[in-house]
């Protein structure tokens, strides 16, 4: 009993005491090392940007206590191959900055990337490791000032940011000579952090989410999709959408056949059952439009359900569905889905943060090779699963093909990996540059002309890092693609959203075609724009714009009456009394509750 109590006491002491210089004898006060995070990527620099990213899933065995816990808890690492591009976007941005003499001259940026495997516990562990000396899990004691992160980029899931804030939000005051104020940038929205304390230390590489939700409403009204379904995950950003925005949808005449929550759980069976129940609801519904509020891994999970039902000859509704997906989602897949069809996405519409392809990024991505980048702790698993091969050094031989390292990333289909920069990667790229420009502005502000020595510069920057929030909040710059990047007074990215149409092909590839936009800075009548002629609809509609109504129009001579027990946009058609007729479908082409009979 005593050793356990002492261990808990030591953890509390190390976590809660102010950070001091590294004078404690580590051997005397060290605590047991946690199960290691296996996939990291570190590059030294005068100043370090850290990142906690979900790139893969760990499939774990049940703990039997017959082996060391390290061996029992980690069975297989399943990589979302597309998310590896997020890591490359960060590395590419750091490389460009270090080669640019106009930004942070004579100061190099480094990075420290952690994979948290979509697990809150490992997000907490990663956050605490950032507060420890490298290679030693002793939070609050960090001997090398150059390893202290000046910023932490989190994502792509909104909940990662909440978990980061629980640890890193405590460090809003600088600790002299050791760990200083750390703030987080996130490229996914995290509404749960909008409170007075934590919100001060967050900057979002994501525009105000209200603009996206307003855009979804405008899209529905534009195409007169008044009868829809909604699917959402049990995450905070989706809960905000459901509680705050759906009542506004109802006031605008939208009604819902179903609003289904998908419960993501550590219990895989529970998650699958939740998904199957949701899928069954969709199959029974008469809606042709479904709004899907998900996270970045949602399409991979969605494909599993779709594949299951297709194999059971229970394909998604013969009349088809137009999916409307939020900007938090992106195309992701696991290695066993490489040959699966992507036709379920054909004709879908999604929102994405406005982005552009970065010059030189494709060439940088194509140059990546495991033997050239051995320090990259994520590339080997990515390589094996993307190319379906194995390295001789691998613990387990999963295929018959040996990786030759002559494989070329550009030969991978889009359903496995894209070489063009995605909107999520674009957000990471801009996040790194935002930190660099803010550091540069702070450097010019605090440095005196007499300070010349290189070492003194970055030490001084570290000592004044609490001022970085002010500079970041006010920063504005043009990135390499000519786009202006800046934050508003709430720390949210100033910008809007693109509306994307997904076009899929039989070889598992796809195109994202921009067919519209949401520009909150435009004139009121131009905030929402859509090009109908550019949209490719799901094949079942034969390029005829789909309808999504609870009822067909009542024929002339009939009137609408409310159908008891059904939503307000569902009705019965009854003949008009003798001597009266009806020939209207509603004001402005919209379907009013009652289609009246007239004399």
User: What's the structural domain count of the chain?
Assistant: 3
CATH, residue 276: 3.40.50.2300
pTM here is 0.83
Residues 200 and 217 in one domain: no
Q: How far apart are CA 48 and CA 263, in angstroms?
A: 37
Residues 565 and 469 in one domain: no
Q: How far apart are CA 10 and CA 28, in angstroms?
A: 11
* pLDDT band for position 152 (cuts 50, 70, 90): confident
Report the pLDDT averaged over residues 521-541. Answer: 92
Question: 107-116, 295-304, 321-330, 458-467: which range is least confident on average?
Answer: 458-467
- How far out from the chain centre does Cα 206 lie? 10
Any domain includes 309: yes
Residues 115 and 232 in one domain: no
Residue 348 and residue 323 in contact, taking contact as beta carbons nearer than 8 Å: yes
- pLDDT, tens only, 492-523: 788 899 999 999 988 888 999 999 999 998 89
Q: Which of 486, 503, 522 is the last residue of a domain?
A: 486
Any domain includes 179: yes
Q: How far apart are CA 45 and CA 443, in angstroms?
A: 16
Any domain includes 524: yes
Q: Which of 32-46, 101-115, 159-173, 306-320 has the highest mean pLDDT?
A: 101-115
Query: Is the dihedral angle over the CA atoms 437, 439, 440, 444 positive or is it negative?
Result: positive
Q: How far apart are CA 207 and CA 218, in angstroms?
A: 17
- pLDDT, tens only, 336-370: 888 888 888 999 999 998 888 899 999 999 999 99
Give the structural domain span for 588.
Answer: 552-599
Residues 57 and 184 in one domain: yes
Residues 73 and 196 in one domain: yes
Record the tokens describing residue 400, joined without a space.
């018959």
Residues 164 and 33 in one domain: yes
């Amino acid at each position: 009993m005593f050793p356990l109590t002492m261990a808990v006491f030591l953890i509390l002491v190390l976590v809660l005491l102010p950070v001091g210089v590294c004078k404690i004898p580590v051997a005397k006060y060290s605590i047991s090392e946690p199960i290691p995070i296996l996939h990291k990527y570190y590059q030294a620099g005068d100043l370090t940007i850290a990142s906690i990213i979900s790139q893969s899933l760990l499939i774990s065995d049940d703990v039997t206590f017959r082996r060391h816990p390290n061996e029992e808890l980690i069975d297989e690492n399943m990589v979302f191959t597309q998310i590896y591009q997020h890591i490359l976007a960060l590395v590419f941005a750091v490389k460009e900055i270090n080669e640019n003499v106009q930004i942070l001259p004579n100061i190099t940026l480094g990075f420290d990337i952690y994979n948290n495997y979509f697990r809150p516990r490992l997000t907490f562990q990663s956050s605490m490791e950032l507060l420890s000396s490298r290679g030693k899990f002793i939070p609050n004691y960090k001997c090398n000032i150059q390893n202290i992160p000046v910023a932490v980029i989190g994502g792509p899931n909104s909940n990662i940011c909440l978990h980061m804030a629980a640890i890193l939000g405590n460090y809003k005051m600088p600790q002299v000579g050791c760990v200083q104020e750390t703030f987080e940038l996130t490229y996914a929205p995290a509404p749960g952090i909008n409170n007075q304390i934590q919100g001060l230390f967050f900057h979002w590489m994501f525009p105000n989410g209200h603009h996206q939700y307003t855009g979804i409403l405008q899209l529905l009204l534009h195409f007169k999709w008044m009868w829809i379904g909604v699917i959402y995950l049990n995450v905070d950003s989706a809960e905000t959408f459901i509680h705050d925005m759906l009542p506004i949808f109802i006031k605008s005449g939208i009604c819902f056949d179903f609003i289904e929550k998908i419960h993501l759980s550590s219990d895989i069976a529970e998650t699958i059952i939740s998904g199957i129940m949701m899928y069954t609801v969709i199959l029974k519904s008469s809606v042709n439009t479904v709004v899907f509020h998900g996270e970045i891994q949602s399409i991979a999970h969605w494909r599993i359900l779709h594949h299951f039902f297709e194999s059971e000859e229970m394909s998604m509704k013969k009349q088809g569905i137009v999916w409307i997906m939020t900007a938090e989602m992106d195309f992701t897949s696991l290695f066993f889905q490489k040959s699966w069809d992507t036709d379920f996405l054909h004709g879908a519409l999604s929102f994405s943060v406005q982005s552009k392809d970065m010059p030189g990024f494709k060439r940088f991505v194509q140059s990546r090779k495991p033997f050239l980048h051995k320090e990259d702790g994520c590339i080997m698993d990515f390589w094996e699963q993307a190319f379906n091969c194995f390295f001789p050094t691998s613990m387990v031989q999963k295929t018959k093909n040996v990786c030759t390292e002559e494989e070329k990333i550009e030969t991978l289909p889009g359903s496995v990996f894209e070489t063009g920069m995605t909107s999520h990667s674009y957000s990471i790229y801009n996040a790194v540059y935002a930190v660099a420009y803010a550091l540069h502005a702070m450097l010019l502000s605090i440095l005196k002309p007499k300070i010349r020595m290189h070492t003194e510069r970055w030490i001084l920057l570290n000592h004044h890092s609490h001022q970085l929030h002010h500079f970041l909040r006010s920063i504005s710059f043009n990135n390499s693609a000519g786009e202006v990047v800046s934050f508003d007074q709430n720390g949210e990215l100033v910008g809007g959203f693109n509306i994307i149409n997904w076009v899929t092909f039989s070889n598992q590839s796809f195109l994202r075609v921009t067919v519209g936009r949401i520009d909150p800075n435009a004139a009121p009548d131009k905030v929402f724009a859509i090009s109908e002629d550019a949209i490719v609809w799901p094949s079942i509609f034969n390029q005829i714009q789909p309808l999504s109504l609870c009822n067909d129009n009542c024929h002339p001579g009939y009137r609408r009456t409310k159908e008891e027990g059904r939503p307000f946009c569902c009705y019965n058609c009854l003949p008009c009394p003798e001597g009266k007729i009806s020939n209207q479908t509603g004001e402005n082409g919209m379907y009013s509750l009652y289609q009246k009979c007239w004399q």
